[in-house]
Structure 1
Amino acid sequence: MNYLKRNLILLFIIVGNLLFAQQTKIKQFQLNWVDNVDFTINKNLKIKTSLVEGNLIDGNFNPTYTSSWDIENSVEIGGFSIINIQYEPIYNNSNLYGVNYIPKALDVKFNIVKSRNKSTAILNIMPLLKEGTTIKRIVSFDLEYSVFANKKSIKSKISTVKNSVLSSGNWYKFSIDTTGVFKIDKKFMENLGIDVKSINPKNIQIYGNGGQMLPFKNSDLRYDGLQENAILIAGEEDNSFDDNDYILFYAKGPHTWKNTKSANLSEVEHQFNIFSDKAYYFITIADTPGKRIIEQTKITNTVNQQITTFHDFTFYEKDEINLFAAGQQWFGDSYNIENIHSYTIPFNNIDPSENVIVRVRGVAESSLTSQMDVKVNNQSLFGINFYAKGGLTKAVANENSGNIQLSGNSVNVEITYNNNGNPSAKAYLDYIEILGKKKLVGNEKQFSFRNFDVDKTAGIFEFLIENASSISAVWDVTDAINPTVILNESTSNNFIFKAVGGIPKEYIVLNEKDYYVPQKVEDTQIANQNLHSLNNIDYIIITQDFLKEQAQRLADYHIQNSNLKVQVISLHQIYNEFSSGSPDITAIRDFVKHLYDNATTNKIKYVCL
């Protein structure tokens, strides 16, 4: 009997693995080209071109090809390749296309999108290819791809928060403008409107999720509701918030860095928040003690290697100009009149033995090809080439980077724009990024640090930070809402601590003279709200407060005449609960998704903005 049971269990395991195993499929495609098509771009522009039947052209007047088909739910793409490609040359129609934008290698995008419990595979391919001076077009190909069942995606990601923390109690909102450790003293608390004399500081709580932009993809991680942050309160032991007492907390600013977990410096890039230059946090006095920062457990294992340097990155960007009053790309310094600009970017304690990466992105609006030439510390490092605008492409953005060994505490960048004799050409800087290694030295300033070599190597490492007399504390801020205090294991003028390698870690060095100061906002006290509790609504009207009365009139009409369950929602309330107070419009999408996912009867059908 036991033998039979074991065999049945083994059979179930094999069948289960087969169900979730990778499956390889092949799909054939035939492209039917239609030549000499009259295509209307707008009332002033008509062109004659060649198209793939059932498809259109892109902004460069080049043909596109897209195909989509239904696919099993809860599967992901394991890999794909284009095989058995058949081409035919183009002899007479090559002048119809935006030749500069035809790729030299196959340009293919293949992914799976999910909507309302339905999965669709979407293939996008550029059907033209350039080989030297010859252009050829695809007439047929096969797509070989594999899919596998994603066990994690079988259950939809549904918000588990059914009530917002803002639904009860007294709440006060404030802002910060960068990432680091901030100090709140008694005076700031009073300016917020808090009666400091009547509170027990042990019950002070701070909530917030940081100010970085919300991810555009539904599948990417975001916090579910406002999170309580662990904080440190000096002087709370006597249950009184006195004149010399203060709060320290770690906050994430509006701008952030992506791909840091890759532990590859060349893959790291900044993300500038296009919606807000501030992040927002909320403070309340609860009836129970709040979350506090604790000391990190000391590591006693034998050290494999000592670390005296760290990887760091900074950027220069000013978002001032949107070229055509459309889209999400903003640019800064103009090179239209003054074609040379110089920048001095602070980058303290550069490790001279390692290369520094300098990355520059710009944009040009010109009918001729043009270039930006980049010098670093008076050395020519690289150029950035811009194609001539053409088709519907009114401006061309591009970036480039170079490596250079430097020393000192700053990086000098000089950028020259060459318009190649076109006086009407316009060019703008997008950003400058500096990425490199620095020496670990305390300098009476707070600074964040990490070491990618440690992050990707197993073992026990010892960090040594020189000039410990200028260091008041070191925190582990890998988990931004739950930082921990790291104890100094040295009695010399070095700050030393051990860390486990192979795990991405983020730290911050603090100096008591350089805590950042938060800022008071205009509407400090927040009225209680609870959007997370809403469900089973057909129609929501999202509005600013000054239009709320008119929005309610519209809601009443649809309640009475359309038999709909309608709710008027204040925009700032969505921001408070779904983007930690920041005016990030992605929060609207997340709120609507929350209503859809949590409906038991009426799923959201209409949204009026």
Structure 2
Amino acid sequence: MRKLFFLILIHPVILLYSQTENVNIQWNREDIHHFFPNALYEDGENTLPYFTRKIAWTPEGMLPVVSLKVTKTTEIATSILHGIDQSHLKKSPLLEYSLAREAGKSFVLVKVLPFIRQADGKVLQVDDFELLLEREAALAPLKSAKAGSWMDHSLLASGSWFKVSVEESGIHKLSYEQLQEMGLSNPASVSIYGSGATSLPEQFSHGYIDDLEAIPLYIHKGADGIFGPGDHILFYAQGPVHWEKDEESGMYLHQLHSYSWKGHYFVTDGKGEASGPEDAVLSTNVPTHTVAAYDFLDFHEDESYNLIHSGRVWYGDVFSVNLTEEYPFYIQGRVEGEPVKIHVVAAARSGVSSTFSIGANNEQLGTISISGTNLSHYTSTYAYESSEQFSYLTDFNEVYVRVTYNRPDANSQGWLNSISLNGRSELTLSGSQLAFRDSRSAGPGNISQFQVNEANSEIIIWEVSDPQHPQNIAYVLEGEIANFTLETNVHREFIAFRPEGSYPSPDYSSEGLGSVTNQDLHGLSHPEMIILTPELFLEEAEELAQFRRENDDMDVAVVTQQEVFNEFSSGTPDVSAIRNFMKMFYDRSGGTSSSCRYLLLFGDGSYDNRGSGEKQYNPNLILTYQSEESLSPTGSYVSDDYFGLLDTDEGMYDGLLDIGIGRLPA
């Protein structure tokens, strides 16, 4: 299914950032046809109207964050529900937005489906809502898309390079001896490049990665001031779990990388000694907030089952025989009197409505209601998903979240998607490292003084809001409290650590890691055709390329998928790396297809992009672009067209193909 993003061109609306626009929809209804002035109707029968808005966007280098709050609704009479397609309605209005450019100016394009489908099956139309537009820093490793320029050559073209991987975000350690074991001939000149498991945006307006960039290091040289045996380096690495503030729930919710369980970096000794982080700009103004606690974050998500073998959403525990599962969490340094917030996402397949009961320790918190589906028709939605947030006040650091599926009959079953847990913990560096952020102190005009307990003059504090460019915090030590003050107009993230602490080391010896052969995809001239292949089929891909050269007089380049990842996504699998690789040639040709015209994907694909549990049956040799929709057989899709949407204002599922794309499912 193709999904297109159209917007009615109306006069731009200018909003001050972090302010709201109150929207009143003047509904008119005749029989089952719903409409209001300037409504947008997408292609198809019996579709519902969308509210659209085009908002001028002036802060360069910042990304928009749009949210809405419903303030008034009206229930739609049961007698006309038969005329409404409810399959894509959720418990909150569908909100989509993107950043686009027109005549050299930036705009935020907003689209809202103003309908709500409640757990009891009632459908509400939204009459009034508040539209909130905020801004956040752009992902630092990502290059501005409007530049349209690319590196002439890759750093990997020369020198000795070694690939390593990490499984989680935080401080990692490599000793002098490990660097020698890895193969570095001059460990004293070590430097590290890459962006770990940073998920690449699907929209070009959010930027892209162009080759590798160095990250700051802390180099522990010992008393002699010379990096040698017994010394080590520390660096901040980005793992595959990312946390984002959800404005609707007020919680931080986790997101897993869609294509990899690990993040990757490249180590070399041929670029000179690495530099440390720059100093952050602190504030000398009187603080509006004092921060002695932070948002504790934890989650559970087991990716084992893709219910319809399509789409990118996976599920974990199955509730069919065992109907109750318990999940342990431990809140280090819990602040007494602060509630624990728990967000649970679950799905169920049942012919009637069913529920999950959610508890914590020995207390019942509430239920999640999930609509029933048609079990007998193959085009019906396979299962429905729902989520709820619960608040729990406890006297214990241990929290056992209990999930029970109240199965209505033997044909029904449920699945857990995820649990996100937020708490409040004391800002105390009790171990080797502590990552912290504080949502309560973030806001326009705010200035916050952070107070880190159990500190000494040896600890190091970095701001890692931009994980590619950590900044050093020059704190003031008062007793065992490290104080620092800075502006917190946006959410900021920090990590405090001890130079002599215990830290995980990146993996450098598993398959696919270690020494990297020199490569230079950036240095390719202007091939007419690209054949993208796994290493497994490299010889066969070369045979096909030679056939095209001899019989069609085509300039054909054969590249491996891993080479593309190395230069365009820091060695971490990502479909957008392949798309961005093709965009490089498109941009160099001035936005025409006069250069590279064809992309051939030489290998089979599958919905199992990460090898989450069924890869032995669904080999994924070349990544596939899967839809977010993963429960509707008619709404979920896979498409290689994504790799050919190359204009700067394209990138997701909107736009027109700029090159020819094919796949040999070998």
Tell me which interval the TM-score lies in, with the shorter structure as reference length.
Answer: 0.7 to 0.9
- Residues 383 and 286 (structure 1), Cα distance of their counterparts in 2 relative to 1, 3 Å cut: same
Partner of residue 597, structure 2: 605
Amino acid at match of 1:426: Q
What's the CA shift for 1:307?
Answer: 1.9
TM-score scaled to structure 2, two decimals?
A: 0.69
Q: Distance in 2 between matches of 1:299 and 1:155?
A: 32
Are 1:443 and 2:430 counterparts? yes
Q: State how 1:162-561 maps to structure 2 within 5 Å.
A: 162-195=152-185, 199=186, 201=188, 203-235=189-221, 241-259=227-245, 266-296=250-280, 300-390=284-374, 391-420=379-408, 422-456=409-443, 458=445, 460-468=447-455, 472-511=459-498, 512-520=500-508, 521-522=510-511, 523-561=513-551
Partner of residue 72, structure 2: none
Give the percent of matched residue pairs that are identical in Structure 1 and Structure 2.
25
Q: Distance in 2 between matches of 1:538 and 1:284?
A: 33
Indicate if the aligned counterparts of 1:361 and 1:398 stay in contact, CA closer than 8 A: yes
- Residues 534 and 312 (structure 1), Cα distance of their counterparts in 2 relative to 1, 3 Å cut: farther
Q: Distance in 2 between matches of 1:355 and 1:462?
A: 23
Q: Distance in 2 between matches of 1:507 and 1:310?
A: 10
Are 1:568 and 2:558 counterparts? yes
Q: Which has the larger radius of gyration?
A: 1
* Structure 2 spans left out of the alignment, 5+ residues: 1-9, 15-27, 33-40, 67-75, 126-137, 139-143, 602-666
Query: Greater helix share, 1 or 2?
Result: 1
Indicate if the aligned counterparts of 1:442 and 1:470 stay in contact, CA closer than 8 A: no
- Residues 428 and 136 (structure 1), Cα distance of their counterparts in 2 relative to 1, 3 Å cut: closer
CA offset digits 1:22-43 (Å, max 9, x no partner): 389xxxxx99999xxxxxxxxx
What's the CA shift for 1:537?
Answer: 2.5
Amino acid at match of 2:405: Y
Indicate if the aligned counterparts of 2:282 and 2:487 stay in contact, CA closer than 8 A: no
Amino acid at match of 1:250: Y
Indicate if the aligned counterparts of 1:252 and 1:279 stay in contact, CA closer than 8 A: yes
Q: Distance in 2 between matches of 1:336 and 1:190?
A: 52
- Residues 503 and 333 (structure 1), Cα distance of their counterparts in 2 relative to 1, 3 Å cut: same
Amino acid at match of 2:256: F
What's the CA shift for 1:464?
Answer: 1.7
Amino acid at match of 2:380: L
* Structure 1 spans left out of the alignment, 5+ residues: 1-19, 25-29, 35-52, 58-62, 80-87, 138-151
Q: Distance in 2 between matches of 1:450 and 1:135?
A: 38
Amino acid at match of 1:282: F
Range moving further from structure 2, 404-413 or 315-324: 404-413
Q: Distance in 1 between matches of 2:544 and 2:427?
A: 61
Query: Greater strand share, 1 or 2?
Result: 1
The count of aligned residue pairs is 540
Q: Distance in 1 between matches of 2:564 and 2:340?
A: 42
- Residues 100 and 565 (structure 1), Cα distance of their counterparts in 2 relative to 1, 3 Å cut: closer
Indicate if the aligned counterparts of 2:530 and 2:598 stay in contact, CA closer than 8 A: yes
Range moving further from structure 2, 473-482 or 563-572: 473-482
CA RMSD after TM alignment:
4.8
Indicate if the aligned counterparts of 1:161 and 1:532 stay in contact, CA closer than 8 A: yes
Indicate if the aligned counterparts of 2:320 and 2:413 stay in contact, CA closer than 8 A: yes
Indicate if the aligned counterparts of 1:107 and 1:125 stay in contact, CA closer than 8 A: yes
- Residues 597 and 377 (structure 1), Cα distance of their counterparts in 2 relative to 1, 3 Å cut: same
Partner of residue 47, structure 1: none
- Residues 265 and 159 (structure 1), Cα distance of their counterparts in 2 relative to 1, 3 Å cut: farther
Indicate if the aligned counterparts of 1:350 and 1:407 stay in contact, CA closer than 8 A: no
Indicate if the aligned counterparts of 2:281 and 2:486 stay in contact, CA closer than 8 A: no
- Residues 553 and 65 (structure 1), Cα distance of their counterparts in 2 relative to 1, 3 Å cut: farther
TM-score scaled to structure 1, two decimals?
A: 0.75
Task: Indicate the SS of the match to 1:216.
Answer: coil
Indicate if the aligned counterparts of 1:107 and 1:126 stay in contact, CA closer than 8 A: yes
Q: Distance in 2 between matches of 1:215 and 1:548?
A: 29
Q: Distance in 2 between matches of 1:467 and 1:164?
A: 44
- Residues 293 and 238 (structure 1), Cα distance of their counterparts in 2 relative to 1, 3 Å cut: farther
Q: Distance in 1 between matches of 2:553 and 2:237?
A: 46
Task: Indicate the SS of the match to 1:497.
Answer: strand
